[in-house]
């Protein structure tokens, strides 16, 4: 039986929505703009134009279409996103698929299903990356020890690394996770793939030290921990700062003034307009 996708309501994500373990590190988320061809970011700053923040579509254009779907990713491109952020899980038969939660809406666990048992709206990672043509992709690996489908061997790493090579190339991909082991596992397969740390509300020094210790290129910081001092500390360590999940234009403007490198947002059209006007 096919289950219809759930469209999230308009609003800002709180830590409980996108940060599975807020404040904890585990060793080891307006109107339509005109259609435009987004920039393909290639530089280490994660945006091809120095000093210009990247627009990162959180699970695609997820206020205009169901999150983490091919439709949401294609709309993100139309809305001018530089990057898409998406969530990666692994089915029991080893297929990397895109879905935020460990369970489907009907309660079935993705890690216990074969790929061909999933509803049509859940794309394989290969299908998602095809839909992200012309954009970079932040691939968040969902694999925390308290996840119901936790995999201590990080078996998804091989699939993720191979698909990055096939569809993106290392210059258009960043693998991120709350679990540094998951990100490290991908780099162990292909050291050219860049990685980033996702964190909730933690001490800035801890976030920077953790990312630096694992040779990461960026910190994806929860909005509440982001201020001028944090951005400066991260930049001094050679790390980009991407902030999640920012949907209010006034807050976007504040973060741009701080010098953040990326806005992770459900409304990439709004962010695009603000970044272009800055």
Cβ atoms < 10 Å from Cβ of 191: 11
Residue 10 three-state SS: coil
Q: What is the pLDDT of residue 259?
A: 97
Q: Which residues of the chain have pLDDT under 50?
A: 1-45
Task: Please report which residue ranges of the chain form alpha helices under DSSP H.
Answer: 15-18, 70-78, 125-131, 156-167, 180-189, 204-213, 228-236, 249-258, 268-277
In the chain the domains, ranked by start, together with CATH numbers, are 33-277 (3.20.20.190)
Q: What is the pLDDT of residue 34?
A: 33
Q: What is the pLDDT of residue 51?
A: 76
pTM of the predicted protein model: 0.84
pLDDT in tens, 225-267: 999 999 999 999 999 999 999 999 999 999 999 999 999 999 9
Q: What is the pLDDT of residue 183?
A: 97
CA dist 123 and 131 (Å) reads 10
Beta-bridge mates of residue 89: 97
Residue 74 phi/psi, 5° resolution? -65, -40
Q: What is the pLDDT of residue 50?
A: 61
CA dihedral 157, 59, 245, 28 (to 10 degrees): -10
Instruction: Give residue for tokens 């201020």.
Output: 227
């Amino acid at each position: 039986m096919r289950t219809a996708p759930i469209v999230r309501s308009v609003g800002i994500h709180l830590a409980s929505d996108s940060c599975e373990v807020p404040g904890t590190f585990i060793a080891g988320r307006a109107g339509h703009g005109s259609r435009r061809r987004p920039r393909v970011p290639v530089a280490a700053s994660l945006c091809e134009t120095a000093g210009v923040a990247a627009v990162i579509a959180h699970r695609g254009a997820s206020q205009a279409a169901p999150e983490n779907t091919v439709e949401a990713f294609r709309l993100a491109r139309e809305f001018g996103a530089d990057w898409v952020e998406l969530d990666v899980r692994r089915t029991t038969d080893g297929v990397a698929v895109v879905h935020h939660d460990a369970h489907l809406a009907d309660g079935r666990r993705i890690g216990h299903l074969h790929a061909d048992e999933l509803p049509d709206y859940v794309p394989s990672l290969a299908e998602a990356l095809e839909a992200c043509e012309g954009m970079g992709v932040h691939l968040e690996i969902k694999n925390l020890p308290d996840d119901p489908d936790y995999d201590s061997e990080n078996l998804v790493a091989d699939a993720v690394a191979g698909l990055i090579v096939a569809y993106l190339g290392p210059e258009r991909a960043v693998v991120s996770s709350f679990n540094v082991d998951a990100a490290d596992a991908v780099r162990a397969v292909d050291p050219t793939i860049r990685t980033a740390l996702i964190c909730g509300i933690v001490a800035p020094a801890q976030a920077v030290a953790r990312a630096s210790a694992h040779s990461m290129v960026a910190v994806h910081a929860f909005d509440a921990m982001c201020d001028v001092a944090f951005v400066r500390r991260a930049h001094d360590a050679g790390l980009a700062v991407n902030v999640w999940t920012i949907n209010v234009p006034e807050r976007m403007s504040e973060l741009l003034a701080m010098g953040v490198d990326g806005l992770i947002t459900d409304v990439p059209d709004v962010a695009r307009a603000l970044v272009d006007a800055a």
